[in-house]
Structure 1
Amino acid sequence: MRRPTVSWATMILLVAAVLGGCQGDKENDMDVQQRAEAAAEKNRQHVDDLVERLGGVGAKVVGDDIIDCDPQDPDAGLLHNYTVRFTAPEGAETRLKGEVADALEAEGWTVRRDPDTEREISLRFLRDGTSLGAKLAVHSDGATAGGSSGCVR
């Protein structure tokens, strides 16, 4: 008679462990979502700060999304993308290529200077898996700034 009691006890422990494991996965998912939200807040701050450094006005959010890092793998983590359009004042190009790039580089960002085109001036900044950038139109005062949090796991 003792043997069935041990088997039932073993099964109860096994079921509890499996259910506990499922609960742990949900908790990990919540942690990933919470970490992604925290990264999103930092990402928004970086982009908004870049617009402010450029003297941009009339900023309008055109993208603010947390998405899967890899749509084929839901466990790959989450990524935040944030984009704003704004009006850049005269001299923003000089400021972006000079004092803004220099300041961000001093703060630990790697500066990537894209080749100027007839249409736009573009610089990107990279640090700790995150990216930040600005594009200024050459023949108008239109501009865009955006950033990505990098994949949060």
Structure 2
Amino acid sequence: MTEIAYVRGDATAPRGEGVRIVAHVCNDLGGWGKGFVLAVSRRWPEPEAAFRRWHRERAANDFGLGAAQFVQVAPHLWVANLVGQRGIRTGRGTGVPVRYEAIDRALGRLADKAVELGASVHMPRIGCGLAGGRWGRVEPLVRERLVERGIPVTVYDFGA
């Protein structure tokens, strides 16, 4: 059975050959300005522009918790904007913004796209940074939605 590969490195520089999808979690407010998205924007402008447009035009599309948007940034490279966070952390003790059920739905959409493209998936520990989630809750979702469908997954822990 396929396992999740854990590596040290930068998820915006996905390893390997073939079609690759870099996945990350976004909030449902349309905000893009802290955390992993900054690394995404430094490397490619398209995912941020597409996300902001998707949010701005949300009355006429599927934007919302559990949705996924796929943005091609190179011939064999895509970025998946996964809406898995309700709002943002405000520091007022209102709880964490991560929504595991939304991440689960978005991962299902990611799996369908990865199968369609014959792609591997590359990600940081999604939902566990600013969203405040626990990898112990997210990892089983990644296993069930992606790994069990035979999709190669690499999780990057930033650092040398």
Q: TM-score, normalised by structure 2?
A: 0.27
Q: TM-score, normalised by structure 1?
A: 0.28
* Bigger relative CO (Cα 8 Å, ≥ 6 apart): 2
